[in-house]
Amino acid sequence: MKLRILTVGDVVGSAGLAYLGKNLRVLKREKHIDFCVVNGENASMVGMTPRQADDIFFAGADVITLGNHIWNRREIIPYLEDTAYVLRPANLAPQLPGIGYHTYDTVAGPLAVINLVGRCGMDFGPDNPFLLVEKLLKELDARMILVEIHAEATSEKLAMGYLLDGRASAVYGTHTHVPTADLQILPRGTGFVTDLGMTGPAYSVLGVNPKQSIATFRGDLTTRYEQAPGPCKLEGAIFTVDSESGKTVETERVFLHD
């Protein structure tokens, strides 16, 4: 049996949430999606609140993943402690709230989802994701395994893909908000893309108002990030996984826009 998994790039701000709510269920029906993972770590521009998590689930997500902005909205902490359907990076300090991986029931059998955060060019020092994922693979009983690495460096994400080629069903990157053109199936059967892109304002700098981003790079005095006005987009990828082998047999780029 085949499992069709939709992965959606970072949802940015209220505009991204609204666009997701308007389009995700329709997209799932049209593409015959069985399971959907959405990165929500920029739902409030930097972080995600419980209400925003509810909105993402209501839109049609099965699992929400997070990243380096997870603690910018501390009100999410009780939410993390009460559900297995919101994942924070597994390689954060183990005493922190929440979980970083879990196995979910699907129509095609168990699917494990692992959320990791990279270390290159990031502003903090989580545990080594390459060493941790090796340990997690030994603990998992599922044949189908999905791995998200929320990272800045393309090389770090590519290296994770090749490390897990033939051992994970699919590996994909988030965080940089710009979709990469390398959606593929690696030699041993793992679906891979370096970055999914983002869901939110189409004419923006990573979701931020271009004027504000330009001012930042000019060295001007700036304020807290503001989302850009105008039309929106949704970016992501679909991985079709064979439940018997656990390998990806087909990939498809997702790009919706106003």
Q: Kindly list the catalytic residues.
A: 69
Q: Measure the CA dihedral 248/168/191/15, to 10°.
A: 110
- CA-to-CA distance for 73 and 85, rounded, in angstroms? 18
Residue whose tokens read 């998992």: 140
Amino acid at 54: D
Q: Is 88 exposed, middle or buried (0-12, 13-18, 19+ CB in 10 A)?
A: buried
- CA-to-CA distance for 34 and 227, rounded, in angstroms? 31
- Angle at Cα 134 formed by Cα 140 and Cα 235, nearest 5°? 80
Beta bridge partners of 63: 37
What residues contact 40, with CB distance under 8 A and at least 6 apart?
10, 11, 48, 52, 53, 56, 61, 64, 65, 66, 86
226 φ, ψ to 5°?
-120, 135
What are the contacts of 48-55 at 24+ separation with CB within 8 A?
48/73, 48/76, 49/73, 49/75, 49/76, 50/75, 50/76, 50/78, 50/79, 52/17, 53/79, 53/86, 55/17, 55/20, 55/21
What residues contact 219, with CB distance under 8 A and at least 6 apart?
none
